[in-house]
A and B are shown apart, each in its own frame.
Chain A
Amino acid sequence: MVRTGVARAQGRRGEIIAGLSERMLTLDPANHYSISATSVLRHVYDPLLDVTNDDRLVPALAESWRPLNNTTWRFTLRKGASFHDGSPFTADSVVFTLKRVRDNSKLIKSFVYQDIDDVQKDGDYAVTVTTKRPFGSLPAHLTMLGMLPPSAGAGEDAFFQKPVGTGPFRFVSWTHGDRVELAANARYWKPGVPRVEKVTVRFIPELSTRAAALRAGEIHVIDRVWPDMVQTLKATPGVKVLDTPALEAQRWHFQLARETVKDPRVRKAVSLAINRDVIIKDLLLGYARPVVSPIPPGLIGHTNLGQKPYDPEKARRLLKEAGQSNLTLDFVLMKDLYPKQLEIAQAVASMLSEVGVKVNIRNLEIATAREQRTAGNYDLFYSGWAHMPHDPDWYFGQWFTKAGAEKLTRFSDPRVEQLIAEGRVPDPRVRQQKYAEIERILWDEEPEIWPYYSVAIYAISDKLSNFEARRDYYVLLHEVGIA
């Protein structure tokens, strides 16, 4: 009775049940690159920094951070935060978490943190991170890395059976393939958070089932709604549909070592022959945005370069100039990965046939498609890029450096490589300028087709208050209330 009284006094009550599309595979924040796991684990663990929906980095367990020079970051830590087992959060936690992810090469995130040279604590509430080369995107990466108590190192397998973090919710249980249950952390450092007593996350991969559970009132929020489901959901009493431009650009990359598409005129012709408006309006029912730069708006470096024109006449001319009158392109898709992808690919095939290019669609199971890409057996590869973390460095670094693209697109351009390296510094003005320059080069060379920016669609119960439709596809519930 007393407990309820306290909870009421803080305005904390009720339970929210979310239905996520992607099943979570681990409770270890360093061992995944899953959007679903990032969402769920954000409730249990706090990272050093959070990222807002308008792409600002804000304090979480770090109160402030600044670069001391190009290869040194200093973080000042929050005092008074504690783990769910009562132990205090201090610099030791940061040192442990960062060294663990760097040194344990079995962890999925390990390769990202290889540039860290050393992590030193300066008293209990400050940490200095030195890096082997400039690591300007470190704060963005840290938004995705929950802080662990140093005691986790004593027996990791046992720790991750029942983990503790400093987050707004305590971990209660995880039934593999079914659900995760979390209970409010009454001693959370942020006043008024969380606003509910309990959060349950159910994993429901099938969209029709997710939508049915929401419409039946069993759950309160679902992610990854497809455009053609929106009308049904909107027509359901008590259900609201929210959408927002996602931090995701669709990008179909060319295999640049192939004789056919090596010629920039051919790539330009393909781009000119695609009517992006038709894809956005007719196939995605308006749930997509025209692309104006390889990097979606909101990320550092985004520069509006104007939309790509649709000009089949010019496309035909360019193909003729390039001597490609009888061109056939292999267009590889990863089966069932993106909404409407097969319909879109078929539309593109018919658009390209208008300018005399034959498209051979190969809709392959995901692992097979990726293997074909490594082997270079494709001309055009259907893919998207959700920017996780909120920083373009990773996208540029993996796809537009020689080492990164070697087994992917075979892209190689010393100018771009140089700019990417220069853009790694912490100074945001330098980064903005370098990235703008990279974007101009890419926009002109067209090593990829950028057909549209995705739109993230969620549906929620109208009982929820303060739910934010996130651009990064996260479903975050610690500041959400329920009537």
Chain B
Amino acid sequence: MRSYLLRRLGQAALTLAGVSLLVFVILRVIPGDPAKMLLPEGAPQSAVDALNRELGLREPIWVQYGIFLRSVIRGDFGQSFQYRAPALRVVAERAPATIQLALVAMLLTVLVGVSIGVLAAVRRGTGYDYAGTVLAVLGQSLPNFWLGIMLILLFGVTLRWLPTSGFQGWSYLVLPSVTLAAFPTALVARLTRSSLLEILGQEYIRTGRAKGLGEPAVIWGHALRNAMIPLLTVIGLQIGTLLGGAVITESIFAWPGMGKLVVDAIFFRDFPVVQTVLIISATIFVVINLLIDVLYTVLDPRIRYG
């Protein structure tokens, strides 16, 4: 296990180096000029050139990458072009909003998604199953944008139960997390249902029932535990996605998170901020994948890494 972890950590470092190089090069190859985006339209070319020099963008790309790598190792991700502040600080200011939203949305996804899925599988062919299917189809097909606006209009404007937008406390989390959780909840519900149904047909379940285990013990103790393996993979990927920031949901709810930040940074060619966010998201992805792989062994002792 230990040598496996060490090997995985080594691979993770390589992956991150690859991501950083890719992001760095792509940003500089796509059309668009950072200084031009910062200066007003119609600023003279001499001002554009001078600003690009100040931003260090006149150096050859490999020189820029060398400087970048050396600073990143020291924990310095460069200065944001737009904010004129350290990129890491700019990103760190947005991280709490994204993390809270992602965690609450994930909690909703797991609780609601797994419950619906289990109910649908156990009561297969009943009204519960059909209702679950309808909910799952809606959750996966309603665009976030539309769902968010509808929730705002209903609960914010008409009923006035919840704030429409912004981030000032727990009540502000409700609408965005529901919006954000809709798609993954539906995904998890469907996956739970199909995975559980498959397992409920297995012989060891019949054995369990035959030896007189109660239905809850069969479902929660045996069936669901085995159904968790594919679920865990999907949930892990979803956490990674959510922590990277949810662009559309953040835009609709004026949520000060990383998703909106990185999209604006891409539009305005704020290279240091894009690089920082992407490297952090990649790190999160890599770490979560590693954790999930370790969790497999906990759920299913037959899985071993050597």
Contact = CB atoms under 8 A, between A and B. Distances in A.
Interface of A: 23, 25-26, 28, 31, 33, 105-106, 108, 110-111, 157, 175-179, 202-206, 208-209, 212-213, 215-218, 365-368, 370-372, 374, 383, 385, 388, 394-395, 398-399, 403-404, 406-408
A404 B42 CA distance: 7
Nearest to A367: B32
Given A177-B94, A208-B252, A370 B44 contact: no
A206 B31 contact: no
Contact of A108 (B38, B83, B256): B38
B165 A399 contact: no
A368 B31 contact: yes
Contacts of B40: 33, 108, 388
A362 to B, nearest CB: 13
Contact of B251 (A205, A368, A370, A407): A205
Interface of B: 30-33, 36-47, 50-51, 54, 82-85, 90, 93-94, 97, 149, 152-153, 156-157, 160, 163-167, 251-254, 256-257, 260-261, 264, 267-269
Given A33-B39, A388-B40, A394-B42, 6 more contacts: A25-B83, A105-B50, A110-B47, A216-B163, A385-B41, A403-B45
A212 B164 contact: yes
A110 B54 CA distance: 13
Contacts of B261: 177
Nearest to A204: B254
26 contacts: A25-B82, A108-B38, A111-B44, A111-B50, A175-B93, A176-B90, A177-B256, A178-B166, A202-B166, A202-B254, A204-B165, A206-B251, A206-B254, A209-B152, A209-B165, A209-B252, A213-B166, A216-B160, A218-B166, A365-B267, A368-B31, A370-B33, A370-B37, A388-B40, A404-B42, A407-B45
B254 A366 contact: no
A215 to B, nearest CB: 5
Contacts of A208: 149, 152, 252
B165 A367 contact: no
A4 B83 CA distance: 37
Nearest to A365: B267
A33 B40 CA distance: 6
Contacts of A177: 93-94, 256-257, 260-261
Contacts of A399: 42
By CB atoms of chain B within 10 A, which of A26, A177, A215, A365 has the most?
A177
Contact of A31 (B37, B42, B84, B269): B84
B256 A372 contact: no
A370 B260 CA distance: 22
B31 A372 contact: yes
Contact of B39 (A111, A205, A209): A111
Contact of A175 (B32, B90, B256): B256
Contacts of B38: 108
B161 to A, nearest CB: 10
Contacts of A217: 160
Given A25-B82, A108-B38, A111-B47, A209 B31 contact: no
A406 B43 CA distance: 11
Contact of A398 (B43, B51, B54, B85): B43
A106 B267 CA distance: 21
Contact of A212 (B36, B51, B165, B251): B165
B157 A216 contact: yes
B36 A374 contact: yes
B256 A178 contact: yes
Contacts of B30: 368
Contacts of A209: 149, 152, 164-165, 252-254
A366 B33 contact: no
A178 B167 contact: yes
A388 B43 CA distance: 13
B32 A368 contact: yes
A398 B43 CA distance: 7
Contact of B153 (A106, A212, A372): A212
B39 A108 contact: yes
B95 to A, nearest CB: 11
A208 to B, nearest CB: 5
A370 B164 contact: no
B33 A367 contact: yes
A366 B268 CA distance: 8
Contacts of B166: 178-179, 202, 204, 213, 218
Q: Which 4 A-B pairs have the closest CB atoms?
A: A367-B32, A398-B42, A177-B256, A111-B47
Contacts of A175: 93, 167, 256
Nearest to A111: B47
B269 A212 contact: no
Given A28-B84, A368-B31, A216 B156 contact: yes
Nearest to B149: A208
A212 B45 CA distance: 42
A371 B33 contact: yes
B15 to A, nearest CB: 28
A393 to B, nearest CB: 12
Contacts of B165: 204, 209, 212-213, 218
Nearest to B80: A25
Given A25-B82, A176-B256, A209-B252, A366 B44 contact: no
Nearest to A404: B44
Contacts of A371: 31-33, 36
By CB atoms of chain A within 10 A, which of B31, B38, B252 has the most?
B31
Contacts of A206: 251-252, 254
Contacts of B85: 157
Given A111-B39, A205-B254, A176 B94 contact: yes
B149 to A, nearest CB: 5
B93 A176 contact: yes
Contacts of B39: 33, 108, 111
